[in-house]
Amino acid sequence: MSAASPMGRALDLITRVRGVRGAMVVSRADGLIVAEQLMEGIKGGAVAALASSLAGRLQRAMVSAGLGPSQFWHLQCDHGALLVVPAGAAATLLLVAVTEADVNVGLVRLELLRAAETAG
């Protein structure tokens, strides 16, 4: 993915944050990677599929609960986190960031939301 393309620029915004191990643009419908900038060793394909599935479950649960579509979600783990925002026209994409534990989550969230506008 060229850094000059909208998606490349979107991923650049996210991965330049200290503590981010990688970022992906994922198709929401099928969980396939559209673009990625991941550190070596990260199983992008499998994580993209899981992120897409989780996003779908959360989306349906939140809409059912009357909260509207999910705008950001954050999976907190012992040694890092997975952060996701919807992107693209009609939110057909997901922007996914994989981070270390000591990352500034607020900053990554901000960059994800900015990147979502860029990618759209």
Partner 1 sequence: MSDDVKALSAQLASDPQSLVFLRLGELLRQKRQFDAASRVAKHGLERHPHLADAHDLLARIFADAHDYEHAFDEWDMTLRIAPQHTGALKGLAFLYFKIGDLAQAESHLQAAKDAAPDDPSIEQAFAVIRGEAGSTLAAPPPPPQSVVAVGSETVAPLPDERVFAGLEGAQEGLLLLDAAGLVLGGALKTPEGADVTEAVAAYLAGVSQESARAARLLDLGSWRGLSAEGQGGHVYLVQPTPESLLLLMRDRSLPLGRLGLLAQRAAQVARQWLERQR
Q: Which tokens belong to 110?
A: 């901000």
Q: How far apart are CA 71 and CA 98, in angstroms?
A: 17
Select from 10-18, 25-33, 59-67, 86-94 the region that touches partner 1 (CB under 8 A): 59-67
Q: What is the CB neighbour count within 10 angstroms for residue 89? A: 8
Does 60 participate in binding partner 1 (rule CB under 8 A)?
Answer: yes
- CB of 12 vs partner 1, minimal distance in Å: 21
Supply φ then ψ for residue 118, to 5 degrees.
-65, -45
Residues 80-99, mask of contacts with partner 1 (x by CB under 8 A): xxx---------------x-
Half-sphere exposure of 85 (CA within 13 A, CB side): 24
- Is 63 in contact with 69 (CB distance < 8 Å)? yes
Residues 38-57, mask of contacts with partner 1 (x by CB under 8 A): ----xx--xx--xx-xx--x
Which residues, numbered 63-82, are part of the site for partner 1 (CB under 8 A)? 64-82
> Which residues of the shown chain bind partner 1 in the complex (CB under 8 A)?
42-43, 46-47, 50-51, 53-54, 57-58, 60-62, 64-82, 98, 101-107
